[in-house]
Amino acid sequence: MFCEHCGNKLHEDAVVCMKCGCQVKNKNNNTIAKNEDDGKANTLCIISLALIFGGPIINYLLNLMIGTNKSIGILGSAASTAAFVLMIIARVKYPNNTFAKVLMWIYIALAVIGIILVIIAIVFLAGALHSLIN
């Protein structure tokens, strides 16, 4: 293996060329970096999943402890927003991570289902209001 910059002969496990000081592109180094990046991306995705599903659970538990039916909606909204932000960070910073790609599609599906449910609720409420007026 030779340095791409100066042509100096390198050891197989070299990280830096001893002659010119340039960083060496090494298959082993790239594999280690990819594994570290996958680990970081997977950690972000797991935290994101915990936030997206943990927010409503914490909201429910707080409602039980307080003894009221009022929702503490800000907590669930903040957790969901943080989950989406973490997923976006994972997708942008680690674009080849499979977990982040799958998580993105899951969140898109959840958003589409949510929009459809809101539209259905609006249609039913409009129908109920119309029947009350007539």
**What is the 8-class DSSP label of residue 51?**
H
Distance in angstroms between the alpha carbons of the first and the last residue of the chain:
85
Question: What does the pLDDT read at residue 50?
Answer: 92
Query: What's the CA gap between 93 and 40, in Å, rounded?
Result: 10
pTM for the structure as a whole: 0.61
Q: What pLDDT digit, counting tens, does each position of 51-74 carry?
A: 888 877 877 777 777 766 555 667
Q: Which residue has the higher pLDDT, 92 or 37?
A: 92
* Cβ neighbours of residue 73 closer than 8 Å, sequence gap 6 or more: 59
Token pair, residue 117, equals 């449910």
Which of residues 106 and 24 earns the better pLDDT score?
106
Is the pLDDT at 107 greater than 80? The verdict is yes
Percent of the chain clearing pLDDT 70 (strictly above) = 87
Per-residue confidence band for 20, with pLDDT thresholds at 50, 70 and 90: confident
